[in-house]
Structures are given as structure tokens and as C-alpha cells.
Structure 1
Amino acid sequence: MDWLIVKNDFKRNKVINLALLLFMMFSAGLAVLSVIMGVQTFTSISRLYEKAQPPHFLQMHKGEIDQEKIDEFMSDYEGITYWQTITMINVHGESLSVVGKDTYDLSDCRLGIGLVKQNESRDLLLNSEHEKVIIEEGEIGIPVLLKEMYDMKIGDHVLLNYNNVLKEFIIKEFILDAQMNSPMVSSTRILLSNKDFDMLNGKVGENEYLIEAYFTDSKEASNFQTAYENAGLPQNGQAVTYAMIFILSAITDMVTVFVLLLVSALLIIVSFICVKFTIMAALEEEIGEIGTMKAIGLPFAHIRNIYLNKYRILASVGVVIGYILALLTTGIFTNHVRTTFGNMSMSPLAIILSIVVGCLVFLLITYYCKKVLKRIKKVTVVDALVRRKGFHKEKGQIKDGLYKSKKLPVNWLMAIREVFYSFKNWTIVFAVVLIAVIMIMVPINLMNTFEAPEFITYMGSSLEDILIEVENGENLEINYKKVVQVLEDDDAIETYYKYRRVRVQTTNADAELMNLHVDSGDNSGNGLKYISGKAPNGENEIAISYLNSNEIGKNIGDTMVLSYGDRKKEFVLSGIYQGVTSGGYTAKSKYDFSNLTSEKYSFSVNLKDNTVAEEKADQWSEIVGPGVTIYPMEEFINQTLGGVVKQLKTIVFIIVIIGACLVMLITVLFLKLRLAKDLAEVAVLKAIGFPELDIKKQYLVKIGYVSIIGILVGVILTNVLGEKIVNLVLTISGLGVKKVDLVVNPLVLYVLCPLLLLALMQLVTWIVLRTITKYNIISIINE
């Protein structure tokens, strides 16, 4: 009998049950998909790292090295299991041309390009199957990072033209580089055969050395870096630790996982709202039957299970279909993971956790249904059979408000009055619109933030028109003077600021000696995003990065003693800023540290006309020559964060479609139930002379009024909660960024998104209201 009741209910309420099934399916599917993608991202990176063996500590160095001194230090350092020094030939993008479907060079590539040969056992360059790549003479292995940027194909020809040396290669393989696979890093490596590498070494480019160390515990890398730098070993270049390599590798896909998790959580909330609404609507409609069952002695548990069985079936079918859809669409969302970290089958952990998440969604829905159905327990036989009002008892005086009709059209007055005095009956529409706004706008704002030029201030650099970096090496000071001369002679420049990086010592929270890399200059620290405090103002103040503040254990106003050479100087901590450059461990000061050797120089340039930034960057690059990287800030941001933005755009498009379908389905579901409940009221309105058009107008006004309130509250919550959610995830990630001000597009947030949702809801409302034409007044009144 129970199953017969459920079967008949499915037949009678096809649209409502289908809508419920869809919400349960989408919420379960997205939850499963986000878990699969998160697990696949980390397991893919881990498996790649197992095969490729990237270093736990990497020091890049341009200039001469004393390998014997390096070997001596490494062998004496406790905890080291392996070390090696790799030679990389640095060439410039303009010296590499690709001939395929089109012919182009890599002159616009921001990344430093290095030619290398395959290593023996550690820091290997692999193919998509995680196999060590062997390149023959005349062949070349291109990193996946460059393939994505330029759409290269296997078989394309690559021409190297440098210092009158011309060499042609054929692309044999696209390689996975475990430590240089993110656009956020500064370099990428191209693989040559041993013979071609030896032939080119010393004839083209400039040699750069990768000094790599491995430990029994990768966390030892931070302490090792301090000891290495203090030992006076080669360090004319970037130093990177294993943890930062891992985080930068995963950031693009983890942003996607975060967005999917957020949307799935919101959809689960929508499912709960829909379940509660449909259950209460069904119970109100069948209050007489419930009273009869109670009167003949059926226990509460049995009555509850009659209704609960239906939702158990819906939840189980929805979760199973959602799980299957998640598995079928996983390939679309994990395409970037496969491309960047190699092909791999679904990991057992992903399968197990996805099943667990699917079961959790099912249990949450059924638990919530049980909780809602507890209301049956409070219904008395008298309330159900005599008063016919077992769940909602009317309270208070009836307010007609008709005296205001002179100021407002009657249809508008009646519609707004009903919503205003009985808003509880319309909360499902309000809540779903509110959630849809948050679900759509938070990912859009996140995408706008990554795309905006201002995001560079979260990476530790101020926002200017052109960014110039003088690379470390033997010609550091010469190249620095060249850049200064070019900037001094160019009338197109409005202002420019120069910075030099020096290394000093301080103590961390455990009173252990640690190195601090300080960017010194008159404008140093200005224009950055500060978590607390402000930029240094005067030579006795210093600002440090967020990660350094955690390491050092200092707060705003505390004093710091910096040691450099045989000197010591006390600084007051003025601010804590956010940054990811140099692994996120930097500091800013206006003090010049004149007696210290510079590690690096950088310049930020503002032009009188910023539209010529690209032209000026190309012009200056030709003048100063190699050893200096010059790029317009917009191009730098596009190349650095382009992968994240591209992935987000795909996700945002899907979410907008889901959000639009969400509000339309809920509107249909709600109106179907509402019209069924309002049959008598509609019949009375028709009987006293209201035409069908007026009745339709009233429902359009009701839906529009509730929608506008939901949109307004959704916009407010997006602005208030959106940043808090994003910042919580950033804090957990350990990237060096803790607080981001989301960039809002006012046109999208305040105009396009509200109008889209409002228009869709009014459209489906009008379509559903066509059923009013079929209402027969006499039969309804008689009933």
C-alpha cells in the first residue's frame, strides 16, 4: 500500500517531482565532481612528483660557480640525501621561431626560456604517460606550458637563431616539467638531446645553473636556504622551495575546485528549501487524509514513512544520476590537470571519496526530510478533520489596505499586499533568487579579480605601466646602468621608481637566524595591499610580507633588528603586505643598505601615455639587450594569470547556465503548487469580475516583487560574504595572500545579472499562468 501511494504521487505531481529530482541530481553531481577534481589534482601532482623527483630546494644562479665548494657544503649538511647542479642555456624568445600551420617567434613570452638536457635520475622531464623523455639529435621537447600558450603541434619545426648560430629542430614530445609548470614561475625549460646541448653550450645564450638539493624531510628546505645563503654559495637568481613549487602548480585547478564546492553547497541548500516547500505543500493539501490516518490509529512513524519513502526514492535516484553525470563530465573539468600533470586513470581515493560524498548528500537530504515531517506529530485529529488547518494557524487581524488604492493600481496593491503580509509563503522564491545571485556573482567577481591589473599588487608589486627586472648575473651592474640611462633619456616617461634587492639577517619566532630579502628604494612598499599597517615612511621603518610575518612572529609597531655585514640596525615594523614573488618571503624598506651588494634590480615605470606601453617595452628591450626583462604590466598579468582566468571563464559560463535554470525551475515548481492552492481565490476573483489578464498581472507583480527583494539581498550578501569566503580559502592555501578585495563589475552585478534573473522569472511565470484560462469557475466553487 505504501509503494502504491508513492507511485500515485509520482504520477500526479510529475513536474514537482522532476524539479526536485533535478536539484538533488545537480547538488550531488557537483559535490562529487568537486571532490573528484580536488583529489585528482593532488594525486596527479603527487604521482608526477614521484616520477619526476623535483628538488626540495632549488637555487638558480647566473655566473661562475665553484662546484667543489658546493659539493663540500652539501656533503657536510645533515639531512641531505642527494644534490646535483644542472646547466641551463638561457635564450631569448625572439631567437626561437616556430614553423607549423603558422610561423611566429616567442618574443612576447614573459617566461625565461632555458635549453637543457635530460637528467639521470632526479628532476626528470617526462611525457604525458610519466615516462622519462629521450630526445634524439635534431629533435626537441617543448614544455606543455609553451604548448598551451602558442598551440604548437608535434612535428612543427623550431628554429634557433642566436649569435649567428642557426639550428633547426622538430618537436618530438611535449614534456611535463614538475617544477616549472605554472605561468606564475619565472622560467620554463626546453629539452634537447645531449649531443645538441653540448654543441650549443658556450656558443649561444648565457649559462644559468640550477643547484638542487634533496632531504629526508622536504620541510628542511627553509632552514637549508638560510644556511646555504650564509655560506656564501652561488645565489645570483631565484631560490624556490618544494612547498611553493607544489602550491603554484596546483593553484589553477584548486581555484576551480573551490568554485565547484561553493556552487554545490549552495545547490544543496536550494534542495533543502525545495524539499521543505514541497513536503509542506503536500501535507497541507492532504491534511484530511493525515487526520483520517491518525483517527484510525496509524502511528506517527508509519504516516511519516508513507511520505518519506517518496523522498528517499527521489534522493537515491538523484544521487545516482548525479554521480554518473559527474563521472561522465569529469574529463571536461580535469582536462587541465591531465594536460599539465599527465594522463592518469581515476585514483581509487577519488572513487572512494566521491561515493562517500554522494552518500553524505543522500543522508543529509533524508535527514532533513525526517526533520520536516516531524510536524505531522503535532497535528491533532480535530485540527485536521474539523478545522482543516493542522500546520499554519492564522494569527492576528486581517489587513485589507484597500483604502490605499488611490495611490496604487488595484492589481499592484493586491499583489504587493499579499506578499507583504504573507511573505512566509513566498520565502522559497526569495531564498532561491538570493542563492542564485551569490552562486553566479562570487565566481564572476573572482574571475574579474584575477583578470584585473590591480591583482599585481597582491603579488608584491605596485601597479605601473611597465615592469623592468634586471636579471642576476655577472652583468648586473652594467645592465642596471643601461636601464637607468634609457629611462633618463626618454621623454615619454612620467615617473619611474627603482628598487634593489639586498639580503640581511634577522631572527625568527624561535630566535633562530634567518635571511630576509629586502627591496630597497624611495617608493618601496607603496601601492601594495596591506593586511595591516602601511608602507614604510622613513628609513627606520620596514614592511614585511604575510608569510615572513608568520615566520618572524612580529606585529605592527614591533621592532626588528637587521644584521648586514658587520652592522646592525633597528627598524619599526610599519606594515604587513601580501605577496607571492620570491616564494612570498620579502620585505620593503626605504633604507638604502649602501654597503651591501645588490642581488637584483627592478624598475616600475609610468608613461605619459599608457597606450604605448607595449611599443616602449619592445623599443627599450632592443636598446638594453639581453639580461633585462621588460614587459607591459597588462601583458605580464595576462601571461601570469591567464591559465587561471581561462579555467574560471569556462566554469563561470556553466554556473550562469545552472543559475538561470535554477531560478526558472523553482519558479515553475512554486507557481504550480501556488496556483493549485489558490484555486478558490482565483475562482472568486473571476466571479467578481476580474479578467484573466488582471489575475496574471497580480502574479507577475508578486513574483517580480519577491525577486527584486531576493536580488537586492543577494547583491548585499555577495559584497559582504563573497570576500570572506574567498579570503578564508586563500588563508588556508598558504600562498602568501590572505585578504583580497574582489573586483566588482557594477554593470554585471547591479544591472545585467538582476535583469537576466528577473526577465527569466517573469517569462516562465507568464508561461505557467496560461493554465488559468482552463479554470472553470462553477466547478471550482462547487468543489
Structure 2
Amino acid sequence: MNWLIIKNDFKRNKVINLALLLFIIFSASLAVLSVIVAMQTFTSISALYEKAQPPHFLQMHKGEINEEEINQFMSNYEAVTYWQTVAMINIHGENLTVKGNEEAYNLSDSRLGIGFVKQNESKDLLLNNKHEKVILNKGEIGIPVLLKEIYDMKIGDDVILNYNNNQEKFIIKEFILDSQMNSPMVSSTRILLSNEDFDILKDKAGENEYLVEAYFSNPKDAKDFQTSYENQGLPQSGQAVTYAMIFLLSALTDITTLFVLLLVSMILIIVSFICIKFTIMAALEEEIGEIGTMKAIGLSFDDISDIYLNKYKILAMFGVIIGYILALSTSGIFTNHISTTFGNMSILPITIISSLFVGLIIFLLINYYCKRVLKKIKKITVVDALVRGKGFDKEKSYIKDGLYKSKKLAVNSLMAIREVFYKFKNWIIVCTVVSVAVLMIMIPFNLMNTFEAPEFITYMGSSREDILIQVENGEQLETNYKKVMQLLESDNTIESYYEYKRVRIQTTNSAGELMNIHVDSGYNSGNDLKYISGNSPDGENEIAISYLNANEMEKSTGDKILLFYNEKEKEVVISGIYQDVTSGGYTAKSKYDFSEVASENYSFSVNLKDNIEILKVADYWTEIIGPGETIGPMEEFLNQTLGGVVNQLRNIVFIIILLGSCLVMLITFLFLKLRLAKDLSEIAILKAIGFSERDIKKQYLIKTGYISAIGVLVGIILTNALGEKVISLALSISGLGVKHVELTINSLVQYIMLPSLLLSLILLTAYIVLRDVKKYNIISIINE
């Protein structure tokens, strides 16, 4: 009997049941998808790292080194379990040309430092997408997937190296996974050569660079080791990176994806319960007579409840199963970047088990919530259901007609608005869901805008100018610095420029131990950054420190610290604490020039005069100065650094907009079905006193549009109030060196385009549902 009742209900209420099924599918699919992305991200990285064995500490150094000194230091440092010094040949992008079947291009526009290496023996291995160690023959080359994504290279393409009037030709044999240099934020990437080709090129092409790598039993020892290594005066004219930062930068794109998916899935699951409640209420309201009949013939609450609950159990079961299958089948879209960056991995059993567990939890939650909602049946009496015809809203609130006040506002508009105003509780579901949809769409969209905005450069420790010039470390550092200075002083297209010199000095951490601090000194140093507290240094006795350095020292704005350099000490006041995601987030800014300290590198930020094309000037300067320096527009620097994250976010935002649109349309449909079922008597009265079907439709359209507009307004207010807090909390937890982000808002999208889209879809859905009004027969409605 239960099965027959359920089958007949499915036939009679196809649209409502299908809508609810789709919503359960959406919420279950997104929740399961979040788990799959999370598990695949961390298991894929772990699998790659287990085979590739990236270093726990990496120090890059340009120029010659004394390996005996390094070996002696490593052997005497108790925590070190293994070390190696890896040779690398630095090649400038303009010296590399790629020839495919259809086009040829060089890599001159790449801001990534490119280095040729040969395969290591056992650690820091370069692998293929099956996590196998790549071995090349003479004339073959392995290209990192990072460059493949940027330039769309293909297996079999030719790579031509031009150096010292010589030319070497290689064929792309493999795309390699580099466990430590697979993110544009690392600023360098490695190309694999055969041992024979590498030995031929060494000391003949490019500039020698070395990677000093150390391993420990506990990767956390890397931070203390770095301080000891740098204080020993060992080779360090380059970037130093620890294992934790390697992992974080590698996973940044996918962690961002995961965060957005989790945020949206949580919102969607909450709204799904609202959807379920109103679907059940719509069904119960339509069948109030049947419920009264069942009670009259002696069926208990449990019996009646089970009839309905069995239907929702079946819907929930099929919805979760289909959602699970949908999540598995579409997971490739969201895990494509993971597979490309960390290698092809089939979904592991633990991922399947975890996602099944999440699906089961969703099913149980839906089942529990349905039971809670169905308890309303207890309150219905036979008399209410069969004699009085009252449903679940027994308390009627009457509205003052107010029609005599209608001098400028049309009667239909006045009646609609006054009903929403006086019976707002009856319409709050639409307001809530529209607000949630705006919130769900705009937070990820604003995050994407923030990463794309030129102002995000301030979170990378730089002020916003037109062109960024970076003088690379190495033996020619001072010579190259002078070349850049001559160019900047003689070029009449320049409005202004600022010079920054990076030095390494020492201070003490919260435990009183010496720690190294990298300071960018210069006249404009620290200006125009995003400060958590305080401001930029105002004189030579002030210093601004990064958020992570402030945590390490346990210092705040206004505190004094001692700086140690060249057997001298200098007391300075912390003028402010800013945010920085570069150099591991451990930097500082000072106006003092530290003339006694050797520079680690130099950088320049340049403003051009109005109406001068930035890209042309950057290309011209590159030709004049030649290889060895990175010159490019600030926006291009930002795009290459965060381009992968932005592209992934753009795909997710598109899907979220579709989901949000479906969400408001579905809720509008379900709600109006319920509202019309409840308002049958009111509709009959309106028809009886002379209101046409067109008038009634117009009133409901005005009610729906009015409450939806309020929902959009509330959603925008919530986005502005909560968006930055949610994003800032997530970034603070990540350890990237950012505590608070000011989201960049696209006013056209947030205040015009998105509200217009949602309101149009809602009114279109309402118009479709309201066509049923003409089916209502006034005599039969009054008789009921």
C-alpha cells in the first residue's frame, strides 16, 4: 500500500518531486565533490613528494661555490640526514625558441627563471605524470608542466637553445613534474636534460647556479637550519625556501578551489533544508483533505508520517546516489589542475570511502530533518482539515486595506506591497534564498577580482607602479645594477622611479634567539602597502615588518627591536605591520640604506609619463639592457604569478553562477506552488469581487519582485559585511603571510548585472508558475 501511495504521488506531483530531487542532487554532489578535491589534492601531493623527495631546505646560489665548506657544515649539523648540491645552468627566455607544427616562438616574455638540470640520483627527482623517474637520451629534453600550461607545448616540438653564437636543438620527450618548482610564485623552473647534454653545456652556456639542499628527520627543523646556514656565511645569493613553503605554494591553486567549493557546499546544504521544508509543506498543504481523511478513519500519526517519510527517503536516497555519481563523473573538471601538476592518479579507495561517508551523512540529515518537519501533522485535527479547511497556518493576521490612501500607487501594487509588508514572515523564504544566492556568488567572484586587480601587488610587498625591474643575484649584481641605473637616469619617458636594495641582517625572535630578517631599503620602501596596523617607516630609525615576522618576534606597532649587522647594532621602532606573500612572507621595509651591508638584490618600480605604452617601453628596455634582469609591466608580473589561481577561480565562479541561478528559480517555483495552494480562498474572493486573472498575476509578480529585491539588497549588504572576514580568515589560516584582504568589488556586476540577472530569472519563473491561476475554477474553489 505504501508503495502504491508513493508511486501515485510521484505521478501526481511530478514537477515538485523532480525539483526536490534535483536540489538534493546539487547539494549532495557539491559536498561530495569538496571531499574528493580535498582528498585528491593532499594525497596527490603526498604521493608525488614521497617519490620525488623534495628538499626540506633549499638555498639557491648564483656563481661559484666551495662544496667542501658546505659538506663540512652539513656533516657537523646534527639534524641533517642527507644533503646534496645540485648544479643548474641558468638560461634566459629569449635564448630559447620552441618550434611546433604550426608556429615558432621564444620564451622572452616569461618572468620565470629557467634552469637546465640533469636528473638526480635518489632525491629531488623530476618525474613523469605516472610518478616515474625520467631518464633522457642525448638530444631529448623534459619540459616542466608549468611552462607547458603557459605556452601550450607538445611532445615532439623542437626546443632550440642559442648561446655564444652556437645552437643546440632538442626534442621534447617528456613533460616533467617538479615537486619544488611547480608554482609561478616560486619564480623559477627547471628543464631536464640528459647527463651528456648537460655536461656539454656546463660552463659554456648561461650562468651557473647551485641548489644547496638539506633533509631532516623533522621538516620543521628547516627554519632553525636556515638561520644557522646564513649566519655561517655559506653561499646564499638567491632565494631560500623551506619544505612548508614549497608545499603551500604548490597547493595554493587547489587549496583556493577547495575553499570556494567548501564555502558554496555549506551554503547550498543549508538552503537545501529550506527547500525540503517548503516542498514538504507544499505537499501537505495540497493534501490537507487527505490527511484529515486518514486521521478520521483511525490512522495514527506514525502511520501518516511514514507514508510521506518513505517518499522523501526514496527521493533522498536517489538524490544522494545520483549526486555521488555526478560528483565522481565531473570531478575531473575540478581535479584537472591537480592531475596536471602532481601527476595522474586514480581516485584512491580512501577518497571513495570518505565521499561515501559524506553522502551517507547528507542522507541521514535529510531523513532527520524530514521527520522534524512532518511532526506538524500532529497539530492538524480532523475538524480543521475537513470542516474548517484550515491547514498549518491557523493564525490569520489581517491587513488594513489602506486602499483609500492609493492616490498615486496602483491598486494592484498597493495590495501586493502591503501584503508583503504585513505578512513578511510568509515571504521570508524567498528573501533568505535570494540573499544566500547573492552571497554565494559574490564572495568567490570578488576573490577572483581581488587576485586579478593590479592593487594585489601591494600584498606581494611592492607598491603599485607601471614597470617592475628586478636585478638578478649573482656575480654580476653590481655591474647590472649600474646598467639599470644609467638607463633610468637617461630615459625621458620616465615620470618617477624608486630603488630598493635588499639586505640580510639579524634581530631576535620571541625566545631571544637570533633570526635573520630580509629588509628592502629605499626612499619609497614600505609606502602604499596594505598595513594591518601602523604605517610605513617615516625615518631611518623606523622599520615596518611583515605579518609573519611580527608573529615570529611577538612584536606589535610601536615596539622597539635591535638590528645586528657587521658587528654593529641599531635600535629601531616598528612603524607598522604589513602583509607580504613573497620570500615566504618574512620581510621588512626601511628607509635606512644599510650602506655597510652587501646587497642581496636590487629592484626598481617605475612610473611612466602619461599616454606612453608600458609594454613597448618594457620590451625596449629589455633589448637595451640585455638578458640578466627581469623587466615587465606590474600587471604582467601579477598575471604570471597568480594566473593559474585566477583561471581556476574563473571556472568555479561560472559554475556557481549557474548553481545560484538554478537555486533562486527552484525556490521561487516551490514557494509559489505552496503560496498558491494556501491562497486558494483568497484568489476565489478576489475573482468574486471583480479582479481579473491578469490583476491577480500582476499582484503575485509584484510581491515576488518586491521581496526578491529586498533579498538582493540584503545579500549585497551581507557580502560587503562578511565577504572580507571570510576570505581573510581563510588566508590567515593558510600561513601565506596575509591576515586581512580588502576585496576588490566590481560595482557593475555586484550592483547592476547580478541583481538584474537574478530578478529576471525569478520573475520569469513566477510568470510560468502563475499561469496555473487561470485553471482555478471559482465555483469549485468556493465549494472546497
TM-score by length of 1: 0.97
Q: Counterpart amino acid of 1:509?
A: S
Counterpart of 2:586? 585
The alpha carbon displacement at 1:92 in A equals: 0.7
The alpha carbon displacement at 1:58 in A equals: 0.4
The alpha carbon displacement at 1:22 in A equals: 0.8
1:79 aligns with 2:98: no
1:557 aligns with 2:568: no
Whether the 8 Å contact between 2:534 and 2:577 is mirrored in structure 1 is: yes
The alpha carbon displacement at 1:349 in A equals: 2.1
Counterpart of 2:760? 759
The alpha carbon displacement at 1:346 in A equals: 0.6
Q: Counterpart amino acid of 1:30?
A: L
Counterpart of 2:43? 43
The alpha carbon displacement at 1:622 in A equals: 2.2
Task: Find the aligned partners of 2:304 and 2:764 in 1 and give their Cα distance.
Answer: 39
The two structures, once aligned, show a CA RMSD in angstroms of 1.7
Q: Counterpart amino acid of 2:323?
A: G
- The equivalences for 1:509-548 within 5 A come to 509-548=510-549
Counterpart of 2:157? 156
Task: Find the aligned partners of 1:724 and 1:312 in 2 and give their Cα distance.
Answer: 38
Whether the 8 Å contact between 2:278 and 2:674 is mirrored in structure 1 is: no
Counterpart of 2:728? 727
Whether the 8 Å contact between 1:469 and 1:629 is mirrored in structure 2 is: yes
The alpha carbon displacement at 1:600 in A equals: 1.2
Q: Which moved more, 1:308-317 or 1:452-461?
A: 308-317
Q: Secondary structure at the match of 2:532?
A: strand
Q: Which moved more, 1:613-622 or 1:122-131?
A: 613-622
Whether the 8 Å contact between 2:399 and 2:418 is mirrored in structure 1 is: no
Q: Counterpart amino acid of 2:223?
A: S
Task: Find the aligned partners of 1:611 and 1:714 in 2 and give their Cα distance.
Answer: 42
Task: Find the aligned partners of 2:285 and 2:697 in 1 and give their Cα distance.
Answer: 24
1:616 aligns with 2:617: yes
Q: Counterpart amino acid of 1:522?
A: Y
Task: Find the aligned partners of 1:316 and 1:397 in 2 and give their Cα distance.
Answer: 42
Task: Find the aligned partners of 1:603 and 1:46 in 2 and give their Cα distance.
Answer: 38
The alpha carbon displacement at 1:50 in A equals: 0.8
Structure 2: segments with no counterpart, 5+ residues: none
Q: Counterpart amino acid of 2:363?
A: F
Q: Which moved more, 1:261-270 or 1:322-331?
A: 261-270
Task: Find the aligned partners of 1:91 and 1:470 in 2 and give their Cα distance.
Answer: 15
Q: CA 1:689 to 1:382, structure 2 compared with 1: closer, same or farther past 3 Å?
A: closer
Whether the 8 Å contact between 2:114 and 2:191 is mirrored in structure 1 is: yes
Task: Find the aligned partners of 1:389 and 1:322 in 2 and give their Cα distance.
Answer: 37
Counterpart of 2:33? 33
The alpha carbon displacement at 1:387 in A equals: 4.8
Task: Find the aligned partners of 2:387 and 2:692 in 1 and give their Cα distance.
Answer: 34
Task: Find the aligned partners of 1:92 and 1:79 in 2 and give their Cα distance.
Answer: 37
Counterpart of 1:21? 21
Counterpart of 1:338? 339
Whether the 8 Å contact between 2:399 and 2:419 is mirrored in structure 1 is: no
Task: Find the aligned partners of 1:28 and 1:311 in 2 and give their Cα distance.
Answer: 15
Q: Secondary structure at the match of 2:699?
A: helix
Counterpart of 2:685? 684
The alpha carbon displacement at 1:203 in A equals: 1.2
Q: Secondary structure at the match of 1:334?
A: helix
Q: CA 1:676 to 1:296, structure 2 compared with 1: closer, same or farther past 3 Å?
A: closer
Counterpart of 1:12? 12
Q: Secondary structure at the match of 1:269?
A: helix
Counterpart of 1:660? 661
The alpha carbon displacement at 1:282 in A equals: 3.2
Counterpart of 1:270? 271
Whether the 8 Å contact between 1:380 and 1:390 is mirrored in structure 2 is: no
Counterpart of 1:92? 92
Task: Find the aligned partners of 2:687 and 2:380 in 1 and give their Cα distance.
Answer: 34
Task: Find the aligned partners of 2:611 and 2:189 in 1 and give their Cα distance.
Answer: 29
Q: Secondary structure at the match of 1:59?
A: strand
- The equivalences for 1:386-405 within 5 A come to 387-389=388-390, 391-394=392-395, 397-405=398-406
Q: Secondary structure at the match of 2:395?
A: coil
The alpha carbon displacement at 1:430 in A equals: 1.3
Q: Counterpart amino acid of 1:438?
A: L
Counterpart of 2:718? 717
Whether the 8 Å contact between 2:286 and 2:677 is mirrored in structure 1 is: no
Counterpart of 1:69? 69
Counterpart of 1:671? 672
Q: CA 1:206 to 1:610, structure 2 compared with 1: closer, same or farther past 3 Å?
A: farther
Q: Which moved more, 1:365-374 or 1:338-347?
A: 365-374
The alpha carbon displacement at 1:378 in A equals: 4.3
Counterpart of 1:443? 444
In the TM superposition, what whole-angstrom CA distance separates every residue of 1:660-714 from its partner, at most 9, and x where no partner exists? 1222222222222322332332233223222222222111111111110011101
Whether the 8 Å contact between 1:56 and 1:242 is mirrored in structure 2 is: yes
Q: Secondary structure at the match of 2:184?
A: coil
Aligned residues, how many?
783
Q: Which moved more, 1:92-101 or 1:692-701?
A: 692-701
Q: Secondary structure at the match of 1:166?
A: strand
Q: Which moved more, 1:316-325 or 1:292-301?
A: 292-301
Q: Counterpart amino acid of 2:615?
A: E
Q: Which moved more, 1:664-673 or 1:546-555?
A: 664-673
Counterpart of 2:319? 318
The alpha carbon displacement at 1:281 in A equals: 3.0
Give % identity: 74
Q: Which moved more, 1:488-497 or 1:616-625?
A: 616-625
1:59 aligns with 2:44: no
Q: Which moved more, 1:361-370 or 1:212-221?
A: 361-370
Q: Counterpart amino acid of 2:11?
A: K
Q: CA 1:692 to 1:294, structure 2 compared with 1: closer, same or farther past 3 Å?
A: closer
1:244 aligns with 2:249: no
- The equivalences for 1:417-436 within 5 A come to 417-436=418-437
Counterpart of 1:104? 105
- The equivalences for 1:357-376 within 5 A come to 357-376=358-377
Q: Counterpart amino acid of 1:247?
A: L
Q: Secondary structure at the match of 1:406?
A: coil
Q: CA 1:478 to 1:159, structure 2 compared with 1: closer, same or farther past 3 Å?
A: same
Q: Counterpart amino acid of 1:6?
A: I
The alpha carbon displacement at 1:264 in A equals: 1.2
Counterpart of 1:603? 604
Q: CA 1:547 to 1:82, structure 2 compared with 1: closer, same or farther past 3 Å?
A: same
Whether the 8 Å contact between 2:142 and 2:175 is mirrored in structure 1 is: yes
Whether the 8 Å contact between 2:90 and 2:113 is mirrored in structure 1 is: yes
Whether the 8 Å contact between 2:531 and 2:578 is mirrored in structure 1 is: yes
The alpha carbon displacement at 1:260 in A equals: 1.3
- The equivalences for 1:769-780 within 5 A come to 769-780=770-781
Task: Find the aligned partners of 1:198 and 1:251 in 2 and give their Cα distance.
Answer: 35
The alpha carbon displacement at 1:377 in A equals: 3.7
Task: Find the aligned partners of 1:105 and 1:12 in 2 and give their Cα distance.
Answer: 66
The alpha carbon displacement at 1:407 in A equals: 2.4
Whether the 8 Å contact between 1:165 and 1:203 is mirrored in structure 2 is: no
Whether the 8 Å contact between 1:465 and 1:610 is mirrored in structure 2 is: no
Q: Secondary structure at the match of 2:540?
A: coil
- The equivalences for 1:446-525 within 5 A come to 446-525=447-526
Task: Find the aligned partners of 2:458 and 2:304 in 1 and give their Cα distance.
Answer: 61
TM-score by length of 2: 0.97
Q: Counterpart amino acid of 2:726?
A: I
Whether the 8 Å contact between 1:127 and 1:175 is mirrored in structure 2 is: yes
Q: Counterpart amino acid of 1:427?
A: I
The alpha carbon displacement at 1:388 in A equals: 4.6
The alpha carbon displacement at 1:289 in A equals: 4.6
